[in-house]
Structure 1
């Protein structure tokens, strides 16, 4: 599946029943990044945005895994995509979750926050940005 197919099939804000397939697609793209294999250009970004749009805690570490899978996706997937429920809620989730991945994601978010990356951030405004980016 490519980016256009995913956008056409699932939209930018997918139905709950489509989330398992989107999670699979994101995991596949992350694995390709880890193996330095060719990836579909915007598919990991689209999957992350689709999961971000739902604001579920369970997807924060999935998006972080994709972001952490290699240099290209780390640069490409914005820190904001971890915060579909908002920055404060995401930081609280990561603190309570524990573990290395959650700790690494929390430190990263706190560094981004200290650098001013979350000034004027809101999940709604971020999603509007991606509506424009993907032309929907």
Structure 2
């Protein structure tokens, strides 16, 4: 599946079992990307992350983090803000409460981005809507 097929099938705001399919698609692409940069489709990975961001489930944050850290291309393609579909404060608290090395690394990335101004004016509604990568023009972000 490519980005166009994913948009056609799930849209930007998938729900229910469609979210499960998006999660699996992201897992598969991340698995391809991990051993060899370029083996996964990082644009499709980004779209899956946008779809999961719009699904607003905290449990998806580590899946998005794993995709983001799969390679340098993925790290550049997948915005750290996509970890925060439930909101910045909620995501930071979630990572802090997990107390795993993976969650700590994700939390550090979020904090560094926040300190650098990357969350200035951030809101879930605007980021997932017309102002961010959840918009129809998500590829341009």
Relative to the length of structure 1, the TM-score reads 0.93
Indicate the residue corresponding to 1:16 in structure 2.
16
Indicate the residue corresponding to 1:132 in structure 2.
136
Whole-angstrom distance in 2 between the partners of 1:105 and 1:26 = 18
Whole-angstrom distance in 2 between the partners of 1:94 and 1:51 = 17
Indicate the residue corresponding to 1:25 in structure 2.
25
Indicate the residue corresponding to 2:101 in structure 1.
100
Whole-angstrom distance in 1 between the partners of 2:70 and 2:42 = 15
Residues 28-82 of structure 1 deviation map (CA, whole Å, 9 limit, x = unaligned):
1111211224333521011000000011111000000000111100111001000
Give the alignment of 1:1-136 within 5 angstroms.
1-36=1-36, 37-40=38-41, 42-128=43-129, 129-130=132-133, 131-134=135-138
Cα RMSD (Å): 1.4
Greater share of helix: 1
Equivalent pairs counted in the alignment come to 135
Whole-angstrom distance in 2 between the partners of 1:34 and 1:66 = 9
Residues 94-134 of structure 1 deviation map (CA, whole Å, 9 limit, x = unaligned):
01111011000001100111111000001111112221314
Q: Is the 8 A contact 2:50 2:128 kept in 1?
A: yes
Runs of at least 5 residues in structure 1 that lack an aligned partner in the other structure: none
Deviates more, 1:123-132 or 1:31-40: 31-40
Runs of at least 5 residues in structure 2 that lack an aligned partner in the other structure: none
